[in-house]
């Protein structure tokens, strides 16, 4: 039997454990510490395997785990869902305004210098109609407190706005005719209950809605 075989047999008989210089045993199956060394002397023919010493004069290297990078912090940004957009086409109304609801009763504030519209009584989900033909200039929530809002440009200087809707049934730059369903009444935005807030402007200036409705 050659010297390498005798050495391996001796290691196998020891269960993979080598005696150290300090009487401890080294498990060859286990990983060594950083900078730890095994000293194996030269084995001559017909010589019994020597005791193997482990150098322990160097302490194991300190391990410092890396700090995990902090998670990014996301801030919620309030966005408006719709703004007024220019449309390639125009639809011109005839200036003969219709009531935008099935009734003609107020549920709250009338037109005044501090309230540039009228609050018309309307139950949740009640149909809302275009007061005159025109082009949808804006639909959605612009973040101003009107909630779900539809604005119609009537192409003759007049525009109308329909606020606090629960449902919007039109899209921006869609043409509508007088009396067409455009949505449903609701209480979105700054509202204390279901109703329709209705505004009229002429060349950008607020107009009392009562002045454009036909006489009863």
Q: How far is CA 12 from CA 37, 58, 204, in A?
A: 20, 28, 98
Closest CA to 140 of 156, 157, 118, 164: 164
Higher pLDDT, 208 or 60: 208
pLDDT tier, 132 (very low <50, low <70, confident <90, very high otherwise): very high
The answer to whether 160 and 178 are in contact (CB under 8 A) is no
How much is the pTM?
A: 0.62
Helix (H) or strand (E) holding 13: helix 3-13
- CATH T-level topology, domain 118-211: Glucose Permease (Domain IIA) (2.70.70)
Is pLDDT at 12 greater than 80 in this prediction? no
Where are the CATH 2.70.70.10 domain residues in the chain? 118-211
Mean pLDDT confidence for 133-149? 96
- How many of the other CB atoms lie within 10 Å of CB of 103? 12
Q: What pLDDT, in 10s, does the model give residues 171-186?
A: 999 999 999 999 999 9
Higher pLDDT, 49 or 78: 49
């Amino acid at each position: 039997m050659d010297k390498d075989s005798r050495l391996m047999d001796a290691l196998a008989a020891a269960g993979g454990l080598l005696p150290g210089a300090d009487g401890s045993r080294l498990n060859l199956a286990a990983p060594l510490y950083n900078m730890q060394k095994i000293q194996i002397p030269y084995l001559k023919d017909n010589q019994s395997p020597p005791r193997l010493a482990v150098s322990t004069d160097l302490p194991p290297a300190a391990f410092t785990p890396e700090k995990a990078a902090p998670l990014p912090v996301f801030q919620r940004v309030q966005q408006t869902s719709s703004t007024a957009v220019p449309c390639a086409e125009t639809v011109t109304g005839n200036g003969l305004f219709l009531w935008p609801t099935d009734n003609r009763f107020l549920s709250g504030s009338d037109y005044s210098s501090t309230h540039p519209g009228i609050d018309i009584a309307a139950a949740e989900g009640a149909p809302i109609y275009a007061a005159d033909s025109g082009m949808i200039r804006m639909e959605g929530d612009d973040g101003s407190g009107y909630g779900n809002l539809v604005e119609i440009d009537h192409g003759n200087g007049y525009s109308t706005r329909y606020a606090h809707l629960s449902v919007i049934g039109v899209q921006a730059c869609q043409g509508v005719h007088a009396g067409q369903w455009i949505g449903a009444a609701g209480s979105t935005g700054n509202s204390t209950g279901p109703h329709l807030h209705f505004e009229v402007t002429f060349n950008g200036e607020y107009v009392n809605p009562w002045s454009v409705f036909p006489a009863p």
